[in-house]
Structure formats: C-alpha cells, structure tokens
Amino acid sequence: MARKKIALVGAGNIGGTLAHLIGLKELGDVVMFDVFPGVASGKALDIMQSGPVDGFDSHMVGSGDYAAIAGADVVIVTAGFPRMPGMSRDDLVSKNAGVIAQVAEGIKNNCPDAFVIVITNPLDAMVWVMQQKSGLPPEKVVGMAGVLDSSRFRLFLAQEFNVSVEDVTAFVLGGHGDTMVPLTRYSTVAGIPVPDLVKMGWTTQEKIDAIVARTANGGGEIVKLLEKGSAFYAPAASAIAMAEAYLKDKKRVLPAAAHLNGQYGIKDLYVGVPVVIGAGGVERVVEVQFTPEEEAAFKKSVASVEELIAASKKLVG
C-alpha cells in the first residue's frame, strides 16, 4: 500500500512541528506549501534528514505551487498570520479570511477528496470560510481547537490532583478561546466526574473555577510568554490526533469545530462539539443534554462564533 500523502498549508511554527510529528509517527509523506517556499523546502529537508536518526522514511518536500498538494489524503491548514501580544483572535479575522479563501481554492482544484483540518485563527470562522469556498462536503472539513483546549484542561486538572494526565479526561464545547464551555461534570479522573472529586475533598470549586479560567485563556498565556507568535507544540499534536483518527479509521471521539446542520438547534455554523472521526471524516456529532447553566454558556459561545462568521461573510462573500 502506497504511503498516505499529507499536505501542510503553512510552513510556520505549527507547520514545521506537524511535519516532524508526521515523520516520527510514520503517518505518511509530506508536502509543505507556503508563500515562502524556501522556508517550506528548508524545513522539509531538515526534518527528512532526521529520518535516518529516528528511523522514519517519510518523504518531505516544500513548495510554493498548489499543484504540489495534488491528491493529498489529508490537508492541515495553518496558513495565515499568528496572534501578536495585545491582539485578539478576532482581530485576525480580516487578515486571515482572504488567506483561507485562497487556500480553499487550491484544495478544491488539487485534492477535493482530502480530509481538511483547519487550525488558522479565528478558528470557528476560518473553518466555515474553508468549507464555503472549497465546496468540500462539510464532514470532510473540520477545525482543530477542542482537542487543544481539552488537553490544556486535562494538564491543569492532572497537576491539581497530582495524577497522570493519561487518567484525566476533559470535555469542552463551544468556540475556541474565551467563550469555550468546559463541561466539568463530563470531565473525569479515571471515570470519576470532577464535581464528585470536589465532594470527595480532592479540590475545591474555587480551584476548578480558576483552572477553567486558565484553560479558556490558555492561548493568551503562551502568547504573553513567547512575546512573538503563539503556541505551536500542543496545537500541532492536537491536529495530528485528528489526522491519525481519520487515516487509521479509529473512530475517535474528539472535540472539534464541526459543521452543524440542526444538531444543538444550530444551522450552518461551525461550532466546537464532540464528534466521531473515522475514515468518513466527521462520522457523527455527539449531542449531549445541557443543564440550564451550560445551555446559557453554549449559547453565548455560539453567538460570538456567529459574529465572527458574519464578519467573514462580508470579507469573502
């Protein structure tokens, strides 16, 4: 069986990390596309040169020509401008909507059968633009944010309880970032829900509230520390988990920005919800029942996604 082909559109910090992880996990061959093809080619060659040391054979090339992504099985899109200190994700909308519309055209013309994972911010709006402009089936276009948000939440919970991150599950919904909705009653340590752990005296509600706030601001915390650019190791790892679920038909249940068509009472919006990812792309949207409080938080989050999408519509038509 021939190796899978994975196209990375955007060869910046996340793009480079994605390529490295694809090599280490032997997920397939890589084409890195960037408006700076030299950067894409340099990173591809550098990473391929680590193959003999780490024992992987993935072939990697860089390019500035969309023809290079022809026939890709998976496309992961990070092209665009990152958030700088003081900038909100929303400030990025005007800059990145045009970039995503261009990338969508490239995908439509060269690999319309691919599974497309969008990472570029503001995520929930950019993934919507990608689906609209590429015309790909909605189940083949998803946005990565929830895996990252829940990974951050899991880390902070594991640190609070002094247990392995492996035994902590977390459940987040809604838009990426400030309006993210963590469902603590579905977040567990080895199956024990967080509210029960509060009752068991493992922590306090105040501490959980602080962890939730830190998680929602997780991207901003890193932007502030880095001073230029935004997080890239954990975002790349998160997108790889989604790509792997598709390529290996794992049917993993992961939170992702998915196209809703009636689920949760929402039509034609991309919102972060738990989905099943397998060979069919997004094979199922998991609909949970909300408490009134959760419902209010989810609605607020959806309203902010709606605003971003309305702004994108004006920009790219």
Site residues for ligand TXD per CB under 6 A: 9-15, 33-36, 39, 78-80, 82-83, 96, 99, 102-103, 119-121, 123, 144-145, 148, 176, 219, 229-232, 235
Comparison of 180 and 197: residue with beta carbon closer to ligand TXD: 180
How near is the Cβ of 148 to ligand TXD at its closest, in Å?
4
Work out how close the CB of 76 gets to ligand TXD at its nearest, in angstroms, rounded to a whole number. 10
Alpha helices (H) in the chain, listed in sequence order: 13-24, 37-48, 51-54, 92-110, 123-134, 146-161, 194-199, 205-216, 218-226, 233-247, 292-316
Q: Which is nearer to ligand TXD, 148 or 189 (CB)?
A: 148
CB of 79 to ligand TXD, least distance (A): 3
Is 268 annotated to bind a ligand? Reply is no
Neighbours of 269 (CB within 10 A): 20
Determine the Cα–Cα distance for residues 97 and 105; give it in Å rounded to an integer: 13
Q: Which of 20, 59, 176, 259 is catalytic?
A: 176
Whether 259 is catalytic: no
309 assigned to a ligand binding site: no
Residues 6+ apart with CB under 8 A from 211: 153, 156, 157, 160
Closest by CA to 133, choosing from 96, 114, 107, 111, is 107
Measured from each CB, the residue nearest to ligand TXD is 12
Q: Is residue 120 annotated as involved in ligand binding? A: yes
Task: For the CB of residue 212, give the shortest distance to ligand TXD in the complex, in Å.
Answer: 17
190 is in an annotated binding site: no
Residue 152 assigned to a binding site:
yes
Pair 243, 27: CB distance under 8 Å: yes
Q: How far is the CB of 60 from ligand TXD (least distance, A)?
A: 16
Residue with smaller CB distance to ligand TXD, 20 or 176: 176
Question: Is residue 257 a contact partner of residue 269, using CB atoms and an 8 Å limit?
Answer: no
Residue in 48, 52, 43, 42 with CA at minimum distance from that of residue 16: 43
Question: What is the H or E stretch that residue 262 is in?
Answer: none
Query: How far is Cα 141 from Cα 131, in angstroms, rounded to an integer?
Result: 6
Is residue 63 within 8 A of residue 35, CB to CB? The reply is no
Which sign, positive or negative, has the C-alpha torsion 191, 245, 118, 159? positive
Bond prior to 122 in cis (omega within 30° of 0): yes
- Per the CB < 8 A criterion, the answer to whether 203 and 162 are in contact is no
d(CA 253, CA 274): 6
Mention every residue, 6+ apart, whose C-beta is less than 8 A from residue 303.
none
- Residue 96 marked in a binding site: yes
Q: Is 29 annotated as a binding residue?
A: no
Nearer to ligand TXD, 24 or 87 (CB): 87
Q: Which is nearer to ligand TXD, 120 or 132 (CB)?
A: 120
47 is in an annotated binding site: no
Minimum separation from the CB atom of position 97 to ligand TXD (A): 11
If the CB atoms of residues 154 and 176 are measured against ligand TXD, the closer one turns out to be 176
Residue numbers belonging to the annotated binding site for NAD(+): 10-15, 34, 96, 119-121
What residues act catalytically?
176
Residue numbers belonging to the annotated binding site for substrate: 83, 89, 121, 152
